Amino acid sequence: MEAESRRLYQSPVWAALLHADATTPYVTNPDFLLSLPSFNLARELQLTIDFLYVGAPNNVCRFPARYLWLRQNLNTPALPVESCPEVIEFLAKAPVEKISLVFASENLAQPASMLGHVFLKLTGKNEGGIEISHAISFYTDANTLNLPKLFWDSMVVGMQGFFSLSPYQTKLRQYVDEEQRTIWEYPLTLDEAQVSLIKLHLLELKQTRLTYFFQKYNCATVVNFILAVSGKNAGSDGEWMTPRDVIKRAHRVGLIETSQVISPSRWLVRALYNQVSPQEKQAIRDHILRGDIANHIDESASDAAFIRFELARAYNQYVYFTGIHAKTTWINNDSALTAVKARLFPGKNLNVDERYNPLYTPDNGQFSIALRQEEGETSFVMNVSPVSHTLTDDNRGYFNETSLRLLSADIKWTIPNNGIKLDRLTIYNIESLTPYNTWTGGISGRFSIAKEPQRDSSLVARGTFAVSGGLGLTVRAAEDMDIYAMGGGGVAHTGKVGYFYSSLETGVVLRGIWNMKTLASLTRFDNQIDRGAYYHVARITQAKYLDRSHTLMATWERYWNQNAIVHSLTLGIKMLF
């Protein structure tokens, strides 16, 4: 048989069509993979050919993309794919002539979106010749506050995955206006044959019941397989893939050449706020809230006037979508601002710093090794974090200082007694230092689920399992300096006793010259481990970014209370991958 003699089953495109690597399928639905439960690429190819050409003629409606690929590679006989009701309906609803990759920025308030979200934009002309766009997205229902169950279900059991096809403008309103997330669009450099194959593959997926796994079959994994159908992108290699990884991979293989950003109104207000004088800011705000911004139009076409105009337009959007003023007020302002745009600033747009582009943010995986000295005890500490970024990292690619760690492990080897132990296991940790703005507010916070060391009344570190959190305020005192204060606490268990504790922290983040960052904090803990006990922690961390993938770090800590004082010094290097 020609397919077997040419070893067509070894084609990366064939594996991508099956959402599989050389040995492992990521889909376990027998309606999608005919060779289950004994899957392999060669057997699946033979069974697919039999299904299409030995089975009923309408079988092609189930696998139109596989049929098209076989036609392209083997010149097999034609089948009536054009008459398939599923194909006709799908292409009528979502005509596809151009495909773009779309990234929605992180939403730390939603566990399923804390790494961002990636999906596809399909653009084409309908029967009336009008260009329309649709979003096609893979996701799961993660609308729950029960985080332990969510992580168990999404990482071990698996959750039902959904494909949604919706008007693209509806998705933009959801992400940009309602959730205040930045959107990056990347048109893909695909030819007509590649577009045809991908759009039929999307139909195959829409007809399949898929199981979502947070770490191995998520929106990023699925989109990466879809892009691999083009033949220009590698499929999965078993690693934990994030939405940013998909963008970077697509760029590396030449699928992306240009990008466009759509910024939410809250971020634009914050970005432009300090570029306008206090008097002008007050006037803009007053007129926007009254709905008569037309009475405060600056007829200058200068750059400064353009910044004031963009601030007014962003604030008008923000107060409407947050419910501060009515739709009629928004319409009055928007009509006046639209006229100003056409008259004074036609074709002029704000430029967003390319460092915010997901293409250029640091990688998510981290590995570090450090030497720690604490009161005469020397130890090596190794950290492995498959998906992580921390406050010590270069966060200039994010809109504020954030930290996210998932399944991050610290292994400690104490030299005097050669003891090796799991010192810390962070299951889930998020932290956001959002600078407060008088127009848009801003709350900072953190939440953590971890097995971690805590200190007793004698400042001896003991292992606990803790769930903790906190809320506070951050002030951007200067462009490169944030000052914050945060109060909170948690519930913890040592294995013998459980307890509640509280914490109060203040600190500063300095994004310094020479590619460095300094973090300094002072924290008080009450009631950790021993009831009624307290202690303070002063901590200073200095990070030096050698390049995009390597960071030198030094941390000095001082713990003290009425009973004891403990000092520690840690020196290490971190590598991103």
What does the pLDDT look like over 62-89, one tens digit per residue?
Answer: 999 999 999 999 888 899 999 999 999 9
Instruction: Compute the distance between CA of residue 524 and CA of residue 124 in angstroms, rounded to an integer.
Output: 59
Q: How many helices (DSSP H) and strands (DSSP E) are in the chain?
A: 14, 20
Q: What is the dihedral of CA 519, 397, 168, 219, to 10 degrees?
A: -80
Does residue 94 sit in helix, strand or coil?
coil
| pLDDT given for residue 55 in this prediction | 84
| Chain mean pLDDT for the chain | 92
| Spans of all domains in the chain | 2-261, 264-344, 362-576
Sequence-distant (6+) residues with CB within 8 A of 54 are none
Query: CB–CB of 230/72 below 8 Å?
Result: no
Q: What is the DSSP letter of 217?
A: B
Could you say which DSSP state residue 148 is in? H
- Residues 89-109 have pLDDT tens digits of 998 999 999 999 999 998 766
Question: Does the pLDDT value for residue 35 go beyond 70?
Answer: yes
Tokens standing for 280? 């002008």
Phi-psi group of 373: left, alpha or beta (phi > 0 → left; psi -120 to 50 → alpha; rest → beta): beta
Other Cβ atoms within 10 Å of 420 Cβ, number: 13
pLDDT at 238: 59
Mean pLDDT of 287-316: 92
Q: What pLDDT is stored for residue 398 in this prediction?
A: 81
Residue-wise pLDDT tens digits, 431-488: 999 999 999 999 999 999 999 999 999 999 999 999 999 999 999 999 899 999 999 9
CB atoms inside a 10 Å sphere around CB 239: 13
Token representation of residue 317: 């959007």
How much is the pLDDT for 3? Answer: 67
The pLDDT value given to residue 472: 98
Distance CA 107, CA 179 (A): 8
pLDDT band at 512 (very low <50, low <70, confident <90, very high): confident
Q: What is the pLDDT of residue 157?
A: 85
Report the pLDDT value the prediction gives residue 5, as an integer from 0 to 100: 66
Residue 334 pLDDT > 90, yes or no? yes
368/550 Cα distance (integer angstroms): 9
Nearest to 202 by CA among 65, 97, 98: 65
Residue 141 has pLDDT above 90, yes or no: no
Select the more confidently predicted residue: 216 or 310: 310
Local confidence band at 19 (pLDDT 50, 70, 90 cut-offs): very high
- Structural tokens at position 506: 């203040």
416 confidence band (pLDDT: 50, 70, 90): confident
Residue pair 136/199 in contact (Cβ under 8 Å)? The answer is no
User: Which parts of 119-258 fold into alpha helices (H)?
Assistant: 147-152, 168-172, 192-206, 219-228, 243-252
CA angle 191, 195, 199 (to 5 degrees): 180
Alpha-carbon distance of 307 to 305, in angstroms, equals 5
Instruction: Look at residue 455 in the predicted model and tell me its pLDDT.
Output: 96
Report the pLDDT value the prediction gives residue 115, as an integer from 0 to 100.
86
Give the rounded percent of residues in the chain with a pLDDT score beyond 70: 97
pLDDT at residue 4 is higher than 80? no
The one-letter code for the residue type at 194 is Q
Kindly tell me if the per-residue pLDDT of 1 is higher than 80.
no
CA-closest candidate to residue 48, choices 22, 80, 71, 28: 71
Confidence of residue 345 (pLDDT cuts 50, 70, 90): very high
What are the tens digits of pLDDT across the range 146-168? 777 887 888 888 899 998 899 99
Query: What pTM, to 2 d.p., does this model score?
Result: 0.90
Q: What amino acid is encoded at 394 in this protein?
A: D
Q: Alpha-carbon torsion 475, 481, 487, 489, what sign?
A: positive
- Kindly tell me if the per-residue pLDDT of 142 is higher than 80: no
Q: What are phi and psi of 168, to 5 degrees?
A: -60, -35
**Three-class DSSP category at 37:** coil
The pLDDT value given to residue 233? 72
Over residues 536-565, the mean pLDDT reads 97
| Per CATH, domain 362-576 is 2.40.160.40 | yes
171 vs 137: CA distance, rounded Å? 10
